[in-house]
Amino acid sequence: MGSIGAKTVVAVFDSRPAAEGAKATLLRAGVPESRIALSAGLTDDGIAAEVPGQAYENQPGQPAKQAEAARLGDAVRSGACVVSVLARSDEETDYVAELLRREHAYRTAIRP
């Protein structure tokens, strides 16, 4: 049996319609709407979408875990919409992540 700890599955999509399609798939699969969140369109505001400077992962000597977080941050900033799902078990975490990948998320991550 899987662990009880909740985790958040995060997926980056290249458009709001793609993210909404992924949400619809999750709902059909039985994931409660109360555990699914969509970001605002991250590239709708050209000024807010700009991210100056070098990615943290490109700075030498950083721990691998922080480099992974930096890559997710870069993907989030470059994507148009992010879907976040609260998963209640390891099995649900894996299932939700797979559903989001099937819906063409171009980056997924799992956060405690």
Show the 3-state SS of the chain: CCCCCCEEEEEEECCHHHHHHHHHHHHHCCCCHHHEEECCCCCCCCCCCCCCCCCHHHCCCCCHHHHHHHHHHHHHHHCCEEEEEEECCHHHHHHHHHHHHHCCCCEEEEEC
pLDDT level of residue 39 (50, 70, 90 thresholds) = confident
Q: Which CATH number is 7-111 given?
A: 3.30.70
User: What is the rounded average pLDDT for all residues in the chain?
Assistant: 78
The mean per-residue pLDDT over the stretch 52-78 comes to 56
**pLDDT at residue 47 greater than cutoff 50:** no
Lowest-confidence pick of 26-30, 33-37, 54-58, 73-77: 54-58
**pLDDT at residue 1 greater than cutoff 50:** no
The mean per-residue pLDDT over the stretch 84-109 comes to 95
